[in-house]
């Protein structure tokens, strides 16, 4: 497949949106920017197009896809019931990096939901993403734009490397601003369960909702978010998390002895770490690093999402 690659600018903004919308409408695949990471999108109501997403990414078929909307009314096309609590959260956090799980409507193909009776939906903040969804006239099903198992795409160069020849159009709008995937939540019995931590943190959710918020860590809840069971976000190099400078020194000496090329990643703050982590993992891979060492951060606020991705990437197997 021939992939067209465009760099988005103020000048071509509307033209590119119209072109991308047309591709989505006729069953093609488009890589488009969101504020979290890039998405690999297709029309939610075109089963053949959605199947192509799984193929392009090499994604396991039981890993469900998030659907992106531009207006609240589109949620009603997808979700059976919207509870009062969900409505409140939507009012406070949409558009934004928060994905909610609903009971799906019959018309939503179970290919999108990986066979689950539920559907994940979010309204992105990125103005281009919302314009594209509006123009396409349908909600857009879009997982992160990367080959399955690799860090999500947050930069044009990395999107091209993973998806050239596999999609119709790649829209490069510069680096993603959040850099980590959205927070995925499910509300149940007056409680909020975080299935995947993200930039909308436990603390932020608690403060806004005044409800108890839990991380869904147990096996039963993880089955509810199948994607989280796979090895994920991983560079080709081996990733190791270190706790202290002393530990780092020791580890570096060992690798030096073994003649392994080790690189250390450090960040000034959590926001910059979230924004640049995937970009840096990929760049170090390309520069031939065999080991990537990243300093652990404390598991509070945005630190929870960062450590979640790091720990998954450091795992050897699923
Ligand atoms: O920020 C994001 O969420 C990005 C951008 C493109 O919006 N998308 C993204 O999609 O990260 P993806 O496919 O890489 O991750 C989707 C996550 C997976 O962990 C999946 O298991 C979970 O959402 N998910 C999707 N549908 C679900 C459902 N019905 N129930 C529970 N979890 C679901
Ligand atoms: Mg993904």
Instruction: State if residue 29 touches ligand 1 by the CB under 6 angstroms criterion.
Output: no
Most ligand 1 atoms within 8 A of CB, residue of 64, 97, 141 to mutate: 64
Contact between residue 221 and residue 116 where contact means Cβ atoms under 8 Å apart: no
Residue 124 pLDDT exceeds 90: yes
Instruction: State if residue 118 touches ligand 1 by the CB under 6 angstroms criterion.
Output: yes
Task: Dig out the tokens for 194 from the structure.
Answer: 């975080």
Model pLDDT for residues 174-201, shown as the tens digit of each residue: 999 999 999 999 999 999 999 999 999 9
Instruction: State if residue 184 touches ligand 1 by the CB under 6 angstroms criterion.
Output: yes
4-177 — its CATH code?
3.90.870.10
Residue nearest atom 13 in ligand 1 by C-alpha distance? 143
Q: Please compute the mean of the pLDDT values over residues 152-176 and round it to a whole number.
A: 97
Mean pLDDT of the chain: 94
More confident residue, 220 or 275: 275
Instruction: State if residue 148 touches ligand 1 by the CB under 6 angstroms criterion.
Output: no
User: Where exactly does CATH 3.40.50.11030 map onto the chain?
Assistant: 238-314
Task: Dig out the tokens for 45 from the structure.
Answer: 């109501």
pLDDT confidence of residue 235: 82
Instruction: State if residue 176 touches ligand 1 by the CB under 6 angstroms criterion.
Output: no
Residue 76 pLDDT exceeds 80: yes
Residue nearest atom 21 in ligand 1 by C-alpha distance? 227
Instruction: State if residue 226 touches ligand 1 by the CB under 6 angstroms criterion.
Output: yes
Instruction: State if residue 224 touches ligand 1 by the CB under 6 angstroms criterion.
Output: yes
Instruction: With cut-offs at 50, 70 and 90, classify the pLDDT of residue 238.
Output: very high
Q: Please compute the mean of the pLDDT values over residues 41-60 and round it to a whole number.
A: 97
Instruction: State if residue 101 touches ligand 1 by the CB under 6 angstroms criterion.
Output: yes
Please work out, in degrees rounded to the nearest 5, the angle formed at the alpha carbon of residue 127 by the alpha carbons of 50 and 5.
Answer: 55
Contact between residue 20 and residue 38 where contact means Cβ atoms under 8 Å apart: no
- 187 CA distance to ligand 2 centroid (A)? 22
Residue 211, phi then psi, degrees to nearest 5? -110, 160
Residue 261, phi then psi, degrees to nearest 5? -85, 105
Instruction: With cut-offs at 50, 70 and 90, classify the pLDDT of residue 234.
Output: confident
Most ligand 1 atoms within 8 A of CB, residue of 68, 129, 181, 223 to mutate: 181
Residue nearest atom 31 in ligand 1 by C-alpha distance? 225
What atom of ligand 1 comes closest to residue 116's alpha carbon?
29
Residue 219 pLDDT exceeds 60: no
Strands 39-43 and 169-172: unpaired
pLDDT confidence of residue 318: 42
The verdict on whether omega for the bond into residue 95 sits within 30 degrees of 0, i.e. cis, is: yes
What atom of ligand 1 comes closest to residue 59's alpha carbon?
13
Instruction: State if residue 274 touches ligand 1 by the CB under 6 angstroms criterion.
Output: no
Ligand with an atom nearest the CA of residue 141: 1
User: At how many degrees (to 10) do helices 270-286 and 156-163 cross?
Assistant: 50
User: Where exactly does CATH 3.90.870.10 map onto the chain?
Assistant: 4-177
Instruction: With cut-offs at 50, 70 and 90, classify the pLDDT of residue 316.
Output: low
pLDDT confidence of residue 227: 62
Instruction: State if residue 142 touches ligand 1 by the CB under 6 angstroms criterion.
Output: yes
CA separation for the pair 297, 295 (Å, rounded): 6
Closest CA to 198 of 89, 53, 37: 37
pLDDT confidence of residue 206: 98
- 267 CA distance to ligand 1 centroid (A)? 26
Instruction: With cut-offs at 50, 70 and 90, classify the pLDDT of residue 228.
Output: low
Residue 221 pLDDT exceeds 60: no
Task: Dig out the tokens for 60 from the structure.
Answer: 């396991």
Q: Please compute the mean of the pLDDT values over residues 254-267 and round it to a whole number.
A: 93
Per mean pLDDT, which range of 84-93, 233-242, 267-276 is the poorest? 233-242
pLDDT confidence of residue 315: 80
Q: Please compute the mean of the pLDDT values over residues 141-162 and round it to a whole number.
A: 96
Instruction: State if residue 194 touches ligand 1 by the CB under 6 angstroms criterion.
Output: no
Task: Dig out the tokens for 250 from the structure.
Answer: 């020791």
Q: Which CATH class is domain 238-314?
A: alpha beta
Ligand with an atom nearest the CA of residue 143: 1
pLDDT confidence of residue 100: 98
- 64 CA distance to ligand 1 centroid (A)? 7
């Amino acid at each position: 497949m021939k992939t067209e690659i465009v760099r988005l600018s103020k000048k071509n903004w509307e033209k590119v949106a119209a072109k991308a919308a047309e591709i989505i409408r006729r069953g093609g695949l488009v890589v488009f920017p969101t504020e979290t990471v890039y998405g690999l999108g297709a029309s939610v109501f075109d089963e053949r197009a959605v199947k192509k997403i799984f193929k392009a990414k090499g994604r396991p078929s039981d890993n469900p896809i998030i659907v992106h909307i531009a207006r609240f009314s589109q949620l009603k096309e997808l979700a059976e019931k919207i509870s009062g609590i969900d409505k409140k959260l939507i009012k406070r956090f949409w558009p934004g990096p928060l994905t909610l799980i609903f009971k799906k409507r019959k018309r939503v193909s179970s290919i999108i939901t990986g066979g689950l009776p539920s559907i994940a939906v979010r309204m992105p903040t990125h103005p281009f993403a919302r314009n594209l969804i509006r123009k396409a006239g349908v909600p857009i099903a879009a997982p992160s734009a990367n080959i399955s198992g690799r860090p999500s795409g947050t930069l044009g160069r990395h999107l091209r490397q993973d998806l050239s020849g596999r999609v119709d159009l790649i829209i490069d709008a510069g680096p993603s601003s959040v850099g980590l995937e959205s927070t995925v939540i499910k509300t149940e019995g007056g409680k909020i369960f975080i299935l995947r931590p993200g930039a909308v943190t436990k603390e932020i959710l608690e403060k806004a909702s005044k409800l108890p918020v839990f991380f869904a860590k147990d096996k039963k809840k993880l089955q509810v978010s199948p994607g989280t069971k796979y090895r994920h976000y991983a560079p080709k190099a081996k990733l190791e998390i270190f706790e202290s400078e002393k530990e780092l020194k020791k580890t570096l000496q060992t690798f030096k002895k073994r003649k392994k090329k080790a690189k250390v990643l450090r960040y000034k703050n959590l926001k910059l770490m979230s924004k640049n982590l995937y970009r840096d993992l990929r760049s170090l891979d390309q520069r031939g690093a065999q080991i990537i060492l990243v300093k652990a951060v404390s598991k509070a606020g945005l630190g929870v999402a960062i450590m979640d991705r790091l720990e998954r990437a450091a795992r050897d197997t699923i």
